[in-house]
Amino acid sequence: MNGQVVQLGSTVVPGDEVRVSGRRVEARIEHVSFLLNKPAGVLCSVGDDRGRSTVMDLVPEVAGLHPVGRLDADSEGLLLLTTDGDLTFQLTHPSHGHPKTYHVWCAEGTVAWRTRIRLVEGVLIGDGFAVADAVAPLPGGCILTIHDGRNRQVRRMLAATGYTVVRLVRTQIGQLDLADLPIGRYRTLDGKDLEALGYTP
Can you tell me the distance from the alpha carbon of 95 to that of 25, in angstroms, rounded to the nearest whole number?
Answer: 34
E strand residue ranges, 119-164: 123-125, 128-130, 134-138, 141-146
Q: Which of 52-56, 98-102, 149-153 has the lowest mean pLDDT?
A: 149-153
Catalytic site residue 84? no
Residues comprising the chain, all counted: 201
Q: What is the pLDDT of residue 95?
A: 65
Going from the C-alpha of 187 to that of each of 31, 34, 198, the distances in angstroms are 14, 6, 19
> Does residue 21 carry a pLDDT above 90?
no
For residue 57, count other CB atoms closer than 10 A to its CB.
13
Q: What is the pLDDT of residue 29?
A: 63
Continuous segment of H or E residues that includes residue 86: helix 85-92
Higher-pLDDT residue of 137 and 11 is 137
Supply φ then ψ for residue 26, to 5 degrees.
Answer: -100, 130
pTM, rounded to two decimals: 0.83
Residues 6+ apart with CB under 8 A from 71: 38, 44, 77, 79, 170
pLDDT, tens digit (0-9, with 9 covering 90-100), for 157-196: 999 999 999 999 999 998 999 999 999 999 999 989 988 8
Residues 6+ apart with CB under 8 A from 133: 99, 120, 145, 146, 147
Query: What share of the chain in percent tops pLDDT 90?
Result: 65
pLDDT, tens digit (0-9, with 9 covering 90-100), for 56-85: 999 999 999 999 988 999 999 999 999 999
> Does residue 111 carry a pLDDT above 80?
yes
Which of 72, 86, 127, 190 is catalytic? The answer is: 72
